[in-house]
Structure 1
Amino acid sequence: MAKVEKKEVAAATPPWKPKPRPIVRLGIVLISHSLLVSVVCCTAGIVALFLLPMLAKNTYISENALMPGSASSMLSNHDISEAERLAKDLTSLNSGAADAGIERRRVLAKYLSDLGVEVGYHKFQSHQNQFHPLHFFSSPDSGLSRENGSCSSYGINVVGIIRAPQADGKEAIVLVTPFNFRKNSSSEALSISIGYAVFSLLSRVSWLAKDIIWLVADSQYGEYASVASWLRDYHIPVFSASSSHNADSCFEGNNINLSREESPGRTEISSGFRRAGTMAAALVLKVTDVKGQLEDTLSVYAEASNGQMPNLDLINVVNYLAVHRQGLRVKVEKFLSVLTWEWIWVLGDTLNFIGKVAGSLNPEWKFGISTPDYVEGTATLASSLYRQALGIPTGPHGAFRDFQVDAITLEISPKVVYTNQGRRNEFILRSARLIEGVVRSVNNLLEKFHQSFFLYLLTSPAKFVSVGVYMIGFALLVAPLPLVAASLYVDANKPEPSSQDPKQKLQINFKPWKWLSAAKQVFTVHAWGVFVSLLPYFISQIPNSTPAAHSIIWFSLSTFGLLVLYLITKSPSKPQKGKWENLKSLTISAVFIGLLLMSVVNFATAQIGALVLVPACLLAQPLKLDIRTASLKTFLRIATNVFISFVAFPPAGFFILKGVNEGFGNMDVGEFWTWLESLWAWNSATYIYIGMVHLPCWVLCLQILLHSC
């Protein structure tokens, strides 16, 4: 009977085991060869990054309704002469007079009122951006008015609104001109002339389908502050009578009562806040005096907070009209130091040669690029990547992106200071026609910008790299992280050799207590990262302290806090022989999660962080193991680990980058604190990344290197 039962059991057991699914088998193969995959992917990711200038595409207009340059300009010499007369009236006032700013506002308001448009004043209170941990993810200007602020902190914007004759007032286009009413600046007066010439023309045309708002922003407290305050009140009305009462009392004390001021022109000037429709786009116009210019140039600034960019069509329209209609040279910011790097020129020559060889083999393979174009594209790409990674707006247009309005700053620089009236009028005419053409194109839109790209990097004013191309390099860099973490997990949980089945390629004997110490250590270091991120709020409260002192205090308290956390958690850094693989696996997992989360908020920050953290994590290995081996391979790995650990330390990386761009002379410890202060003042997510992802992972990699085996 027993034999029959054994036969039945044997018959019930299948003679073969089901094969794992193909995706599982592929995962097993990749994990088993994680070293080779890591080398290939990291190398390909870095190569893909340097190939981006070569893969850049020419810009094009995606939205057909824009039709830039399809209509002839309507600006006349009368508009230019009136604009010049306004500039002369503004500059003729004595800047030293106490009421010079008030008189300039009155003159400007009178000119606008004579056009028959709605004119109003906007009163705002300026204050410096300060770090506060509870308000970190709010806008840089929280909008909380200080009722006990002094009268010297108040400013006044002048706003003119043209109601479109063929619209219902649901959409608007904004033109911003920063102007310091207390100073007598010829470049600012020139920008006022350009803005008034365009505004004067638009007040008479019949083809407007969107309202036009001209904001003359009071820039005495900063260009961004005045624009941000007006935008906040435009979208989020403040129903507080106390702050308004304080402002009125300040203005009355300065012999100006805006609420009762009247113009001798057609319309009444009011201090009540005036609104138009939803903003379709915004242009910030500035004129700067740059010496040594060989021609009139137009610089375009587009980066906003946390790497936000306006729709690419807006930049394309400006570039097309400036180059093909007004003959202006368009520039975007670039790292000039990159142009002097010899190895970049050698790389450009190599890629140029490869492109020529490929073209000779097959004429359809057109991916070659000249060496100067490659170097210029690399310098511009590096600047675009860095500016987006900082997360700090490059101009007043950044305030519009906080409200999801596409906006850019146009900075026009004449080649010479125009003392000749004819040349000056010609410059105003060309600049005003450019603004007129952009307004015409945006006016044609039936909906907001949406056809073109919002995620892109510029390599020149007429070339860009889309997100579908530049994300390949980032994906290749982070792809080895989960594979290496899984490989270390498998190695740390393998059973003893005596009990291991030789036929089983990947066998795991999970013992969770083996990972408890490493998990506690990773958690402790990231908790310390939160502590380090909050420290500046308390350090900044110290009175009469220099940035250098703040830096020293921050470093000392951070080091002391790390030691205290280790003591509280019973010293998780205590050496444990043979367990560094667990710590490295969890560190790599934390880096992978942190980089993926950061790529959602600010892709440029994640890209730069991956270039530093991924090699640091993959190469991290206890130095004692390499010292015991004492070979050329281990010596190179030790040198590489030490170099990467030094560069990955945020203060060291900052000073290296600053030295490469500006020179290594006159370095000051307080400069790093000032840089951090700018990040937290503008609520840049890069600050959170440095404190809660980059710095803790750097500490963990350092602990792996110093681990006792």
Structure 2
Amino acid sequence: MADGKSETPTEKETPKPKPRPILRLVIFLISQSFLVSVICCTAGVLALLLLPVLAKNTYISENALMPGSASPMISNQEVLDGNKLVEDLTNLNSKYLDGGIESQRIIAKYMSDLGAEVSYHKFHPQSNRFHPLHLFSDPDSRAQENFSCSSYGINTIGIIRAPHGDGKEAIVLATPYNSLKSDLGESFSVGIAFSVFSLLSQVTWLAKDIIWIVADSRYGEYAPVAAWLKDYHVPKFSSLSSGNVEMCHDGKNLYELKGKSITGDFRRAGTMAAALVLKVSDRTEELEDTVSIYAEASNGQMPNLDLINIVYYLAAHHRQGFRVKVERLWSLLDCSLLKVLGTIIEFVGEVARSLNPEWKFGIPATDYVEGTATLASSLYSQALGVPTGPHGAFRDYQVDAITLEFSPKFTSDMKVRHNDFFLRGGRLIEGVIRSVNNLLEKFHQSFFLYLLTSPNKFVSVGVYMIAFALVIAPLPMIAASLYISANNSNSSLKQDKSTLSPYPVADEHSNTVRSWRWLNAAKVVFIIHLWGAVVSLLPYFICQIPDLTSTTSFLIWVLLSVLSLQVLYSILASPFPHANASQPQEGDWALLKSVTISALFIGLGLMSVINFATAEIGALLLVPTCLLARPLRLDLRARSLRSFSRVICNLVLGHIAFPPAAFLVVKGVFSGFGSANVGDFWNWVESLWAWNSATYLYISMVHLPCWVLCIYILIHTC
């Protein structure tokens, strides 16, 4: 060296290690969080709209089911027996205004004549009044304490023991029947079920026991089935057992069947492999006989898709003469926007096929509109978390079950077609039972998480989760970006103050204040979510007030919620002593928004595990609201087109995301705004807690607190 000095290796500057690629990607996404959020949210909405296009045809996954592999065995003789039972029940109802016990005796006699084991199950209705400790609890804890013999319902159960079975498995056939006031549809459902039951008492191929429960539906269709399932899986040994019919003197007449073996003791078969709920609708179809499938259970649970596939396969491919239907939102069929979107998708599909015939993208516009209406109905029914029929009681015990509702083309006076309707309906039920009878294990091959777009098309969880993931993907990135920008703005503000002050600001003190400010934002978010838990408990106290209308109850709920928020915030939200003297700083709203978005991300993620449909709808409402939330004073001060547009969007989303407003808008769109009433929201929420729906807890403990925090950010003084 020229100066006589030489550099040693230790004196050389060591290059800084480059961050790993994944870390660089995270830094890039956070720096471009606004652009990424716009792209992800737009892609998530488009992916949701394209779900009907991406739907797959259903197929039988379990080869052992073999639907339609054997010819139907039900004959005209079984149909005549079913018709005879219908005539006896109809004559009894026309002769006596209150058939009651006599109709149950007739059904029990018909079961007993087939050699079935007949028994009665007594239950009493459950109270649907809200109680905070009864959410997701044992239904028995909500039973009425003061009851009389007249308040009891009585189910009639018949069991056929399988000649080639070991008694370890069973198939359940349920038919709701109001013994006090039945209609012709309920009598028809009992008649078709008896035709199938009569056949199954004679066949030799049966490997699983058959349980037929005629559920006393005087207190609803769900309650008798749920009470019977409760006693089936959790036996009682007290003197008030549901099977103890002798407590009521009128029940003694049930056993007088001329020497037949009828008992009030609770009888059981094996583990339930599947269950079918059979109903016949009073409404008639103009063109053809139809069978509607209802599959949604509590909290969005669905039966194994193979059970639905069996019904569709037998009805559509084995000339039973039934058109299979699933529920759809009829109001969407006339939506002009969907028709335009369907036309665009159909055109794009034609262009894609012209370029490459192997590209199978796009469906006809009419199929897209119908698929979207069915998908919306499936998503809405799952999001409510309320069962769409008595089959939901079976799903609570992990038993795959569906409700089949037959709608005949004929009216009650067209007796010529009764036998044909009974025969085809019996053959369909027989085919489903025969397929389930072939199973050597429980349903497990097909899907449990899916959305239906038609009776023979579905969207699996691997496809529809993409839309949800895209919608919530920007939340952690926006939260991190807001936190970093808030800290950077505070650091620059501290530096500016230190240059003006003759005394330097200590770094340690600056970091401490910054940490307290972040904790203060987290504390506010925690208090608001704690308030959400208080709001969820308020209906218990409101229900104690007698003679309140739904509108009055809702207004009292709103008033108590506002008062509790003010009291809770004034008690717990006071900042720490050393920060109390400091005025609100510019980055406070950004920190609060960052923590709010983080809490929303966690809440939606947890809800997607419990009920995906609820999380999806909640994300569509709350994610744009939280991402666009910004103090209105800042946007009004900017006076630009972008800020003015954001103010309009914030005001619109702030109104729509409010749970009662969102409910009224949806009800108005689907049912007409003339029928919308604020009291309807109370009735809807009341049904949620009556059915132990997790959607109720989501609304009160996730959705409502995040909405309140967004409103707080909008009115923040900066």
Q: In which range does the TM-score fall when normalised by the shorter chain?
A: over 0.9
User: What's the CA shift string for 1:204-250, capped at 9, x where partnerless?
Assistant: 00000100000000001111000000000000011111456985332
TM-score normalised according to structure 1 size = 0.94
- 1:103-124 deviation digits (Å, cap 9, x = unpaired): 1111111111110111111111
Shift of 1:262: 4.7
Structure 2 contact 664–678 (Cα < 8 Å) conserved: no
Kindly provide the amino acid, as one letter, of the partner of residue 419 in structure 1.
D
Q: Of the candidates 212, 215, 225, which is equivalent to residue 213 of structure 2? A: 215
Quick one: which of 688, 692, 706 aligns to 2:701? 692
Question: Post-superposition shift, 1:403?
Answer: 0.1
DSSP-derived class of the 1:121 partner = strand
Residue type matched to 1:544 in 2?
Answer: D
Pair 1:463 & 2:466 matched: no
Give the equivalent residue in structure 1 for 2:379: 385
Shift of 1:612: 0.8
Matched, 1:324 2:320: no
Q: Is residue 286 of structure 2 the alignment partner of residue 293 of structure 1?
A: yes
1:542 aligns with 2:535: no
Which residue identity lines up with residue 545 of structure 1 in the other structure? L
Q: Distance in 2 between matches of 1:702 and 1:164?
A: 63
Which residue of 535, 556, 562 corresponds with 1:532? 535
- Is 1:704 aligned to residue 710 of structure 2? no
Which amino acid in 2 is paired with 1:123? K
1:268 correspondence with 2:271: no
In the alignment, what sits opposite 1:69?
Answer: 68
Contact 2:120 2:264 in 1 (8 A): yes
Preserved CA contact (<8 Å) 1:317 1:438: yes
1:403 corresponds to which residue? 397
Indicate how the Cα distance of structure 1 residues 497 and 536 shifts in structure 2: closer, same or farther if over 3 A, else same: closer
Equivalent of residue 308 in structure 2, options 289, 294, 315: 315
TM-score (structure 2 length as normaliser): 0.93
Structure 2 vs 1, CA of residues 663 and 6 (structure 1 numbering), >3 Å: closer, same or farther?
farther
Paired residue type of 2:181: K
Residue in 1 aligned with 2:46? 47
Report whether the alignment pairs 1:517 with 2:530. Answer: no
- Whether the 8 Å contact between 1:345 and 1:375 is mirrored in structure 2 is yes
Contact residue 113 and residue 263 of structure 1 kept, 8 A: no
Please tell me the root mean square deviation across aligned C-alpha atoms, in Å.
Answer: 2.2
Say if 2:171 is the partner of 1:162.
Answer: no
Q: What is the DSSP-based 3-state SS (H/G/I as helix, E as strand, rest coil) of the residue aligned with 2:360?
A: coil
> For residues 229 and 294 of structure 2, what CA distance do their matches in structure 1 show?
19
1:539 Cα offset (Å): 0.6
Q: 1:602 — aligned with what? A: 611
Does 2:241 correspond to 1:256?
no
1:31 pairs with 2:30 = yes
| Secondary structure at 2:463 match in 1 | helix
Of 121-130 and 650-659, more deviation after overlay is shown by 121-130
Aligned ranges 1:130-209 → 2 under 5 Å: 130-138=129-137, 141-142=139-140, 145-209=143-207
Cα distance, 1:664 vs structure 2: 0.4
Deviation, structure 1 residue 368: 1.4
Greater CA drift, 238-247 or 380-389? 238-247
| 1:496 matched to 2:496 | no
Give identity over the alignment, percent.
Answer: 64
For the Cα contact (< 8 Å) 1:95–1:183, is it kept in 2?
A: no
Deviation per CA, 1:254-276, whole angstroms, max 9, x where unpaired? 26354xx25337x5111110000
Alpha carbons of structure 1 residues 616 and 13: separation in structure 2 relative to 1, 3 Å: farther
Deviates more, 1:410-419 or 1:306-315: 410-419
Taking the TM superposition and a 5 Å limit, the aligned residue runs for 1:6-25 are: 11=10, 14-25=13-24
TM alignment of 1:567-586, pairs within 5 A = 567-570=570-573, 575-586=584-595
Cα-to-partner distance string for 1:497-517 (whole Å, 9 max, x where unaligned): 8979xxxxxxx9783112132
Deviations 1:148-201 (A, max 9, x none): 312222011000000001010000000001111112421111111100000000
Structure 1 pair 4–162 and aligned structure 2 pair: CA distance change class (3 A): farther
Between the aligned partners of 1:420 and 1:578, the Cα distance in structure 2 is: 76
Amino acid at match of 1:526: H
Higher mean C-alpha deviation, range 412-421 or range 618-627: 412-421
Structure 2 gaps of 5+ residues are 497-509
**Which of 473, 478, 481 is the equivalent residue of 1:479?**
473
Q: Residues 244 and 591 (structure 1 numbering): CA distance in 2 closer, same or farther, change over 3 Å?
A: closer
Q: How does 1:220-235 map onto structure 2 within 5 Å?
A: 220-235=218-233
Match of 2:437 among 436, 440, 443: 443
Asked whether the equivalents of residues 293 and 404 of structure 2 are also in contact (C-alpha less than 8 Å), the reply is yes
Q: Residue 496 of structure 1 aligns to a residue in which SS?
A: helix
Q: Distance in 2 between matches of 1:206 and 1:590?
A: 60
- 299 and 488 in structure 1: CA distance in 2 versus 1, 3 angstrom threshold: same
CA deviations 1:541-591 (Å, max 9, x no partner) are: 111111111000000010111111121125569954431110000000000
Shift of 1:14: 4.9
AA partner of residue 682 (structure 2): W
1:108 aligns with: 107
Secondary structure in structure 2 of the residue aligned to 1:100: coil
Partner of residue 674 from structure 1, selected from 672, 680, 683: 683
Counterpart secondary structure, 1:207: coil
Q: Are the counterparts in 2 of residues 131 and 537 from structure 1 also a CA contact under 8 Å?
A: yes
SS at match of 1:290: coil
**Pick aligned residue for 2:597 from 588, 595, 599:** 588
1:182–1:596 CA distance, 2 compared to 1 (3 A): same
Aligned to 2:273: 280
Q: Secondary structure at the match of 1:159?
A: strand
CA deviation string 1:689-709 (max 9, x = no partner): 000000000000011111112
1:390–1:684 Cα contact (<8 Å) kept = yes
Structure 2 CA distance for aligned equivalents of residues 463 and 570 of structure 1: 52
Mark the CA change 1:13 to 1:680 in structure 2 (over 3 Å): closer, same or farther: farther
Match among 408, 417, 423 for residue 423 of structure 1: 417
Q: CA deviation at 1:292?
A: 4.8
Letter in 2 for 1:426: D
Structure 2: how far apart are the matches of 1:472 and 1:307?
18
CA contact (8 A) 2:663 2:681 kept: yes
Q: CA separation in 2, counterparts of 1:245 and 1:338?
A: 47
1:129 aligns with 2:128: yes
What is the Cα deviation at residue 631 of structure 1?
1.2
What residue identity is the alignment partner of 1:366?
K
2:358 corresponds to 1:364: yes
Structure 1 residues 581 and 420: CA distance shift in structure 2, 3 A: closer
Q: Distance in 2 between matches of 1:68 and 1:229?
A: 32
Distance 2:302 2:6 in 1: 73
Equivalent pairs, count: 693
Q: Give deviations 1:114-138, integer Å, cap 9, x for gaps.
A: 1011111111111232322112122
* Contact 2:98-2:181 at 8 Å conserved across structures: no
Amino acid at match of 1:256: K
Specify whether residues 29 and 190 from structure 1 end up closer, same or farther in structure 2 by C-alpha distance, changes over 3 A only. Answer: same
C-alpha separation between the residues in 2 aligned to 1:292 and 1:94?
25
Alpha-carbon offset, residue 6 of structure 1:
13
**Whole-angstrom distance in 1 between the partners of 2:12 and 2:623:** 47
What secondary structure does 2:675 align onto? coil
The CA deviation string for residues 629-672 of structure 1, in whole angstroms up to 9 with x for no partner, is 11111111111111111000000000000000000003322111
The 1:21–1:657 alpha-carbon spacing in structure 2 relative to 1, beyond 3 Å, is same
